[in-house]
Structure 1
Amino acid sequence: MLRHLSAIHVPFRLKRPFRISRGIKSVSDTIFVEIRDGNDIGRGESVPYARYNETIDGVLAQIDSARGEIEAGADRERLLEIMPPGAARNAIDCALWDLEAKQTGLSVTERIGWEKLKPVSTAITVSLDIPENMAAAAQQLKDVPLLKIKVDASNPIDAVRAVRAVAPNPRIIVDPNESWSIEQLALWQQQLVDLRVDLLEQPLPAENDAELEGFEALIPLAADESGHVADDLAQLARRYDYVNIKLDKTGGLTTALAMLEAAEREGLGLMVGCMVSSSLSIAPAMVIAQRCAFVDLDGPTWLMDDLKNGVIENCGTMTPPAPGFWG
């Protein structure tokens, strides 16, 4: 019997608007993939991202273009040959991992030789707003171990200072989402040090990365939009201290694992991130999280309703999904 692949658009309404430097969203538009093989079903999810010129229709069309090979039995290695990195390949790759787990009776971590998934501390995001509103949001999060503060180039220090005033204890990641210049980075970095910021994520537009070579950073820098696959890492290691591995960028868990190993060889610190998504996106990312110094997997906490039996976040600790949910 041939496999059957299905892919649909599944929107999730958010509890509140999610703002970053390049826009605002009130709905998370995900792509849900199922691969059925006899009585076994593998599931995967991805989130098309406009930053990479992805659309819902475009990702669905990409998935449909691979349908024939997937239904004929293509494995994850073949998938790397027929699809480029991105959201479409991620959803299929994760569905194949899940299907293999169902068919073999071995969990994903057992198959890669790792221990069972453990809970991790995840960043909880304070989205971009006026400093007073960001402080009000952070007040509710003052006891979590790690905060991620979304900023732009308008008044980032005021925003971070407002959050730090009400949340003196958490570690902090600041994420400008490519909105700063090298001059602004130089101007603001000492103030970020004074505010005890632990990590600065993708301050410059990815196309301006070369400006970071030779720059004397006072605070560790993490590449996000600049780092997609393992081939990017040798160059990134000259400019950044950490790389943020996201499965929607790498095109699935298969290449995320390869990127993790390559980053460790290059001496780059590890971070794992996500889009605003359901637990079906977070479950495979939890595998990568086991090896990361910084974890940012709070996507499902923004949803009005997550999938049943998914991950559970409690005061900044993320617990893996229930057995049988994925992988």
Structure 2
Amino acid sequence: MRRISARAERWPLAAAFVIARGAKIEAEVVVVEIADGAHVGRGEAVPYARYGETVDGVLAQLAEVPREISRDRLQDILSPGAARNALDCALWDLEAKQKGVRAWTLAGLSRLDPVKTCLTISLGSPEEMAHAASAEARRPMLKLKLGGPDDLDRVEAVRAAAPKTRLVVDANEALSFDDLQRLAPELARLDVQLIEQPLPAGHDAELDGYDSPVPLCADETLHTRAELAACRGRYAYVNIKLDKAGGLTEALALKREAQAAGFEIMVGSMVATSLAAAPAMILAQGVKVADLDGPLLLARDREPGLTVTGSMLEPPSSELWG
């Protein structure tokens, strides 16, 4: 008889993580374990207040799940979000252990390559962001959190501090369309590679007919395949996250459909431990932009965690996941 258990954990961050919506000093995660008597599968997810989720609410959802749930059935009984993600990833892990193969084999891959992640620079004063960027200037890509229409000085300060690093900016819905039209040419001048979710979700129609000088990426706008059609003609990239999609099962299906529709893929994550990042590495194979730096932002990671060499995440051990 299988046993499903779930618990909340708190992981301190190395420094405050600040975005347009607020700041956090710790990662609050939910860990699911599924035991069959011989093996234990694990998954981790982050309840996100932006989507109306709480730790208690996610734990309550998980308490109602039947013990013999399958990945296929799970897609029907839980809506996309953190609860389904944690359970879905635990089921992947359990199946891999039961069959004696790695999870990427179950996903149809012959191997799992290391993933190069960008590193996030939290929102702060131009001087603070430049100082943080200077310390990380040798990384191949930095992602800058923006807070509003007056952030050009922040990007200019970071570009001066890290002149050779590829830059992505993430507005977290903080701009208006007028702000975007004004800022985008300046960001192109500063060689910014991508603007993530400039407008609030639900305002995407304002992008119809707009030819941005910097490619735009949908994040809060897109969770699952259901929102993909609304991104066509408005965004060049879509950011796929396991917590938004509700697990690796839906995320892989979304990636396939998005690529078939001509979108470039960004794979993102919430701030969490290596247990959350490990399954996302399967999703991140071959994508142009990976933002899986959650474990790098923690004061300490779980053991065993992912091995990180510079900005390269090495494939997880089977003891960690998959």
Same fold (TM over 0.5): yes
Which of 199, 202, 210 is the matching residue for 1:207? 202
For residue 10 of structure 1, give the secondary structure of its aligned residue in structure 2. Answer: strand
- Residue 153 of structure 1 deviates from its aligned partner by 0.8
After superposition, what is the alpha-carbon deviation per residue over 1:51-72, rounded to whole angstroms, capped at 9, x for unaligned? 0000010110111121xx2x1x
In structure 2, distance between residues paired with 1:84 and 1:216:
34
> How many angstroms apart in 1 are the aligned matches of 2:193 and 2:173?
18
Deviations for 1:97-117, whole angstroms, at most 9, x for unmatched residues?
A: 000001001111112221221
After TM superposition, give the deviation of residue 325 of structure 1 in Å: 1.5
The reply on whether 1:46 has 2:51 as its aligned counterpart is: no
**Residues 13-32 of structure 1 correspond to what in structure 2 (within 5 A)?**
13-32=12-31
Counterparts of residues 182-197 of structure 1 (less than 5 Å): 182-197=177-192
Give the counterpart of 2:245 among 250, 254, 259.
Answer: 250
Match of 2:114 in 1: 119
CA distance in 1, matches of 2:113, 2:211: 36
Q: Distance in 2 between matches of 1:103 and 1:318?
A: 25
Amino acid at match of 1:304: A
Offset of 1:321 from its aligned partner? 2.1
| Alignment partner, residue 140 of structure 1 | 135
**Residue in structure 1 matched with residue 193 of structure 2 by the alignment:** 198
Q: Distance in 2 between matches of 1:200 and 1:266?
A: 20
Query: What whole-Å deviation, never above 9, does each CA across 1:191-218 have from its counterpart, x for those lacking one?
Result: 0000000000000000111101111211
- CA–CA distance in 2 between the matches of 1:35 and 1:150? 36
Matched residue, 2:284? 289
The question of whether the paired residues in 2 share the 8 Å contact of 1:143 and 1:315 is answered with no
Letter in 1 for 2:259: E
- In the superposition, the TM-score normalised over structure 2's length comes to 0.98
TM-score by length of 1: 0.97
Partner of 2:307: 312
Aligned residue type for 1:61: A
| Count of aligned positions | 322
Cα deviations across residues 264-305 of structure 1 (Å, max 9, x unaligned)? 111010010000000000000000111311000000111111
Q: Distance in 2 between matches of 1:52 and 1:112?
A: 28
2:231 and 2:244 map into 1 onto residues whose CA distance is: 15
Q: Pick the aligned partner of 1:238 from 216, 233, 236.
A: 233
2:42–2:94 contact (8 Å) kept in structure 1: yes
Give aligned-pair identity as a percent: 48
- Distance in structure 2 (CA, Å) of the matches to 1:307 and 1:80: 28
Q: Which runs of 5 or more structure 2 residues have no equivalent in the other structure?
A: none
For residues 96 and 282 of structure 1, the distance between their equivalents in structure 2, rounded to whole angstroms, comes to: 16
RMSD of Structure 2 on Structure 1 (CA) = 0.9
> Is the 2:102–2:318 contact (alpha carbons within 8 Å) kept by the matching residues of 1?
no
State the SS of the aligned residue for 1:14. Answer: strand
CA displacement, residues 74-127 of structure 1 (integer Å, 9 cap, x when unaligned): 210000011000000000000000000010011111122212211121110100
Cα distance in 2 for partners of 1:225, 1:316 equals 25
* Partner amino acid, structure 2, of 1:151: L
In the TM superposition, residue 154 of structure 1 has moved relative to its aligned partner by 4.9
Deviating beyond 4 angstroms after TM superposition, the runs of 4 or more aligned structure 1 residues are none
